[in-house]
Structure 1
């Protein structure tokens, strides 16, 4: 019986090639895109899930500051993890990691590399996390302070097929030698912790102690990522309170600090206070996948129910010769299953073709392998759910016809069935309209970010690391300014596009007991403000005099949060340096637009300058780069020359949003394409069943334009209803997305107008293709055929 059902279904598909092609095309594209998006979402949700002890691993973060300066610090102080391990029974182990800024170039024989990601970490790294050593002793991975552990890929890059254990890697032109004590497998793509090489925290501690840093009692420097391995079933609130007690026992004045523990499984997608972070994007993309699959399902349901009138006599004859309703129901399920099987096979081929493009657009490394069980799980779930949603209602409807009425031609679908089909068409275009509006809003926000005045001028500015240029800065600057393509030169200790570093070790006139002021410190040269055209609101800038070492300049936000109406001349302390505020600059954006401008303080310290900035004329930029390279090699010949334009660094801050916008463009286009396929099929069917009416109207004098308008108006009404429904839905969705930005656009009325006009024009063009074909047909042939 099943064999007969399949044979009949195949004949039906071949008999109705046009409608079969529309259904298969829509389902193929819908399944392929839906599956790829769900694979993307599955990859995001799988981050850090491979650790066996992951359910009991937490990252230590801190909520600190007073008033509006209060914020979450994603880094913590160095001693807290080790002290917690010693003093708290709920903490079984602790791991610290921090970036390695001590070395820049790593060599082995005649090979040198400057693009290595290197971190310091504790011996417990391999007992807490599941990053197994391929070679080495996991119980004591770092044999000495000068040991180094490298990834498999790094070992291949340095040593080829030779055994890496025991090899010597030289850091920064013979400054230090490190012996390879272990080789670790390459970090998984879905790991939040990734690097190329690891050095022992003991070496970092030893290096800090040479500059009189009390590492084990340093509750001021927040630059370490700390992870705690806890006992199962702990009380997080109690553990947070216990961590704070340890902190206050070493630094009693931090009474407005609060510890937060972020589960490792939530590290990528949530903030430490439990609020959503990347999970919003994951949810949005899952919804988009479901919308595209739903649109594809609606196409099939609409065409199946609309064409049911044409199959009524076939169904009636089957009933008369003995087929019961269950047999007919199964027959139509088989037909849908066969069509879905063809679409699924084509979708697999399409996915294999599109995955490299999708990876490039999304910044992912997805691999579509049929050997991966999760791929099969997502595919089967998607296909089966879509098949069930698409097949049950049409099968029930088609198997419910009364045979005698159908043979007499007295059967109709009824008002309910027609209304249901119209609702589905409206639903399709609501989804499409929402995606189009979303695309326009995202594009407008990104354009706003690129065009908004940042408060400083980064045009044609590139930066490079100074390294050993420091003592020769004046000579280098003078030589560079002789070049015709160079306008100005300055220096600082970090990148102005994204000022890092935080300190709460501050004091000022009027400070209350227990009050903490968190600020971003940045060392700048005397020419820095004028170089970047940062407005000085009050006071003066640095002059390069010796006295500037005890002078500070605040941004407007810092002055406001300190409650200083006139801060010039007031005392301010940062670290151990007591000084005087000499100026206030206008706020400028030195972080993502998702964050409000934070308090910043600028100080003058010639020992801290590590970044050289060069402003060029646009046309002469290559000459300026060549001149900078020449000066760099003169003093740093052992290091490779590299530079970055600030515009490129700024764009990298919003790479995620740019990818979202690009993907939204494609998703909206795909949704419109699938919707138009369904609309094309319905328009063709409408023209087919109204052939006699069209012929009579043309004989009575109706023009082709009137016929086209007659056939199109009902569909355009549905599209207009969809627009009315979609506008408030899209506004709510995109307003919520924009809430993630501290500085954002207002959604313009024209966004909805243009989106609506675009949907109407696209729908009208789709309908007109079939309507014009019917309107231009010879009425004599139409009446004769009828």
Structure 2
């Protein structure tokens, strides 16, 4: 438009010459020219064109749906694969999101720190959550960087009852906590004052759900409940009602009782070497956690000299996911399983994307003429690229819609496997993540036809140009190999995890956990245990019963044991069990030497029994009859038992000590024969009701407690099983699609071969050979990676299976057979076609 603009300027200049004079006319001319230097005047004329983008988009959508209808098989395969992969990713994303939110809802989350202790002895350093309860007052008084601090206990099962006209007795999960507990943690109160509800020794706080159970629609504030634990009982007045504890809290409880009552009246060993408290602190915003750690540890060591224990602070929000320590250093935890399951979900989606890309590239060559005609009509590379990307993204969005419905249907079952209460709710971050992922998948899958085919010249295409053999072919082969590599790794993983879980379930633990039940020793059973035990021993199906303090995983430990020859280096932590007469025999633990506790010996109150690991750690050659000093007094060793699994098989066996202190043992353990468990339990409950009518009977099975130690591994086993099955199905769907496409392209070649005398099985072998080779290469690549991954996972167990060659051979053979079965149907069908029908138009 330069000539038009220049003409206008000159015309205005001529007019001004006659009216304003030459000098002013020139100045105004310069001004007009300078004012024209702006973006609106110098932009490209092409940018002024107004294209009908809506019609182009509509056209692309129409072409896309027509393409789906023409290529039904590849469309359905892509849809099934992508829907399955996206469903897997959605479920795992929901689970990961739930895991990452755990314990992060507290208002003081950034400043909330937990005090932990490192105990170092000859075997190394072990990290515990326990700290001395006496530490609370000291750090509150001496460390100004600590804004708030609270002490509390782990959650225990208590019995509580009401004194109404229709009394209610319930087993509830509760803990003792100091008065700042509800200021440190953000568990909101419905009624009550957070800073004062736990200050009084006779006041309690309950959740809204528990209040409804106990008092129905009545106001619970001011009501009285009676608390029972072992031989202790006390009346508490309800001074506060909590909102129900959110599922994102790692600590679940229904009842809070005052710490001062626990500390002043229940704890008998209030010493700096007794680690009975859990202490959490809120630091000031500008406080240095490392500096506070040094101050806390200094206060502790000033009160307990020559200790092998170090205290330190760690962020509370990290404990749930990063709660495992090795030699005092944080070494992971549940985060490892979060990463592993997330990785598996992405592998599944990646396998589905490989199908998508393979089929997209394979089918792209069939659309060459369409591209040539469009380019000859003036279509630009950009518009063609947009068309292919539109197709790709659209099928991803359809798959996303289907996966959303599948997620809703599968979520209840998924919650059962993961033991969660996940709901599909609108979460902006989650939605954006999923949409972004789907868009990325669509762009990647559509990139080959969009970038490669769209840049080809129209003349070359319409003259009959064909894609070179190398174009897409090598890439498809690599992707097929990669698919079956991943599938084989997952199959091996499932086999290894299954075999390890079988070993754990069948392993001889050193005690007999089968048909062994226990229940709380409380109420009248505290004083009448012997009479009750004698009563239930007469029940048909009961083999034995005794007072016991044995718990799977251990409950208490102590370093307060001394023996002749002990040095400063011999700092040993012993798992400590208070038991009654014949309780070790009840467990089925074998004796190496000596005897069990017995009522026949009057001096058995001052005797102990060790396991063989403890005897080795103490360096004793002939321990029977020797004396040791326990923190409760002098004791004599009367027995040594074989090592038994105290906790899970992740750890080696640790030193253990049994003390004959039935008064301190809070369980009654019963061995039943298992022939009629329901009837036997019913008769035990009837006997319990006669002795203890005010208390609920709630038995637990030792073998179920043992299984609970491996809940994470069991979840991994279940999810891996489904993931491996899904991976192989999606891989085989892709292989099925590629086989169908290949046989379709080679149909005339097959017909000519048949005319020249080739048999059906020879043709089947010819068509199967190529895909079999790709699958075999994938299997061979997978085997060393499988071995490495399996070996690394098994290293976390003290007792583990041997990695036999047949794990890998069986996984490889299974993968190959499944691939053969997938390919066989298509190749056999093609080999049986009548060649006359296919060659008629030649």
TM-score, normalised to structure 2, is: 0.89
Residue 301 (structure 2) aligned to one of 229, 235, 248? 248
Q: CA 1:485 to 1:194, structure 2 compared with 1: closer, same or farther past 3 Å?
A: closer
Q: Does 1:185 align with 2:225?
A: no
Cα shift readout 1:591-626 (whole Å, capped 9, x = no counterpart): 111121111101101312322222222214344323
Cα shift readout 1:672-721 (whole Å, capped 9, x = no counterpart): 11111111110110011011111111111222222221111111111111
Q: CA 1:416 to 1:735, structure 2 compared with 1: closer, same or farther past 3 Å?
A: farther
Q: CA 1:413 to 1:84, structure 2 compared with 1: closer, same or farther past 3 Å?
A: farther
Q: CA 1:389 to 1:504, structure 2 compared with 1: closer, same or farther past 3 Å?
A: farther
Local SS of the residue matching 1:115: strand
Q: Does 1:148 align with 2:204?
A: yes
Residue 71 (structure 2) aligned to one of 13, 16, 24? 16
Q: Is the 8 A contact 2:585 2:596 kept in 1?
A: no
- Cross-structure match for 1:381: 436
- Distance, in Å, in 1 between the alignment partners of 2:637 and 2:468 is 82
- Cross-structure match for 2:37: none
- Distance, in Å, in 2 between the alignment partners of 1:431 and 1:223 is 48
Cα shift readout 1:231-289 (whole Å, capped 9, x = no counterpart): 345444443332222222222131x2122322112111113522111111011011111
Shift of 1:489: 2.0
- Cross-structure match for 2:276: 223
Map 1:83-232 → 2, pairs under 5 A: 83-99=138-154, 103-107=158-162, 109=164, 110-142=166-198, 144-172=200-228, 175-208=233-266, 213=268, 215=270, 218-232=271-285
Q: Is the 8 A contact 2:157 2:174 kept in 1?
A: no
Q: Is the 8 A contact 2:396 2:442 kept in 1?
A: yes
- Cross-structure match for 1:352: 408
Local SS of the residue matching 2:372: helix
Q: Is the 8 A contact 1:494 1:610 kept in 2?
A: no
Q: Is the 8 A contact 2:122 2:571 kept in 1?
A: no
Local SS of the residue matching 1:510: coil
Cα shift readout 1:642-681 (whole Å, capped 9, x = no counterpart): 2122222222222221121111111111111111111111
Residue 306 (structure 1) aligned to one of 344, 353, 362? 362
- Distance, in Å, in 2 between the alignment partners of 1:143 and 1:230 is 22
Residue 591 (structure 2) aligned to one of 536, 542, 550? 536
* Most deviating of 472-481 and 765-774: 472-481
Q: Does 1:758 align with 2:814?
A: yes
- Distance, in Å, in 1 between the alignment partners of 2:491 and 2:841 is 42
- Distance, in Å, in 1 between the alignment partners of 2:218 and 2:545 is 46
Local SS of the residue matching 1:502: strand
Cα shift readout 1:338-369 (whole Å, capped 9, x = no counterpart): 11121111111111111111111111111102
Local SS of the residue matching 1:446: helix
Residue 319 (structure 2) aligned to one of 267, 271, 278? 267
Q: Does 1:412 align with 2:412?
A: no
Q: CA 1:171 to 1:366, structure 2 compared with 1: closer, same or farther past 3 Å?
A: same
* Most deviating of 639-648 and 688-697: 639-648
Q: Is the 8 A contact 1:41 1:286 kept in 2?
A: yes
- Distance, in Å, in 1 between the alignment partners of 2:743 and 2:457 is 26
- Cross-structure match for 1:668: 724
Q: Does 1:612 align with 2:668?
A: yes
Q: CA 1:143 to 1:73, structure 2 compared with 1: closer, same or farther past 3 Å?
A: closer
- Cross-structure match for 2:503: 448
Q: Is the 8 A contact 1:536 1:585 kept in 2?
A: yes
Q: Does 1:580 align with 2:636?
A: yes
Q: Is the 8 A contact 1:30 1:292 kept in 2?
A: yes
Shift of 1:638: 0.9
Q: Does 1:439 align with 2:490?
A: no
Shift of 1:480: 2.9
* Most deviating of 41-50 and 475-484: 475-484
- Distance, in Å, in 2 between the alignment partners of 1:179 and 1:529 is 41
Q: Is the 8 A contact 2:199 2:258 kept in 1?
A: no
* Most deviating of 419-428 and 44-53: 44-53
Residue 72 (structure 1) aligned to one of 121, 127, 131? 127
Q: CA 1:337 to 1:785, structure 2 compared with 1: closer, same or farther past 3 Å?
A: farther
Shift of 1:522: 0.5
- Distance, in Å, in 1 between the alignment partners of 2:739 and 2:183 is 65
Cα shift readout 1:466-521 (whole Å, capped 9, x = no counterpart): 323344333333333333422222221232x3321111222221222375321111
- Distance, in Å, in 2 between the alignment partners of 1:518 and 1:475 is 36
Q: Structure 2, unaligned stretches of length 5 or more?
A: 1-55
- Cross-structure match for 1:45: 100
Q: CA 1:735 to 1:236, structure 2 compared with 1: closer, same or farther past 3 Å?
A: farther
Shift of 1:726: 1.0
Shift of 1:121: 0.7
TM-score, normalised to structure 1, is: 0.95
- Distance, in Å, in 2 between the alignment partners of 1:595 and 1:575 is 27
Local SS of the residue matching 1:603: strand
Q: Is the 8 A contact 2:179 2:199 kept in 1?
A: no
Local SS of the residue matching 1:54: coil
- Cross-structure match for 2:42: none
Q: Is the 8 A contact 1:69 1:517 kept in 2?
A: no
Shift of 1:21: 1.0
- Distance, in Å, in 1 between the alignment partners of 2:286 and 2:805 is 52
Shift of 1:167: 2.4
- Distance, in Å, in 2 between the alignment partners of 1:612 and 1:568 is 28
Q: CA 1:717 to 1:222, structure 2 compared with 1: closer, same or farther past 3 Å?
A: same
- Distance, in Å, in 1 between the alignment partners of 2:617 and 2:726 is 49
- Cross-structure match for 2:310: 258
- Distance, in Å, in 2 between the alignment partners of 1:112 and 1:769 is 67
Q: Structure 1, unaligned stretches of length 5 or more?
A: none
- Distance, in Å, in 1 between the alignment partners of 2:283 and 2:636 is 46
Q: Is the 8 A contact 2:149 2:279 kept in 1?
A: yes
Calculate the aligned-residue CA RMSD, in Å.
Answer: 2.1
Q: Is the 8 A contact 1:312 1:401 kept in 2?
A: no
- Distance, in Å, in 1 between the alignment partners of 2:286 and 2:619 is 44
- Distance, in Å, in 2 between the alignment partners of 1:233 and 1:749 is 57
- Cross-structure match for 1:276: 332
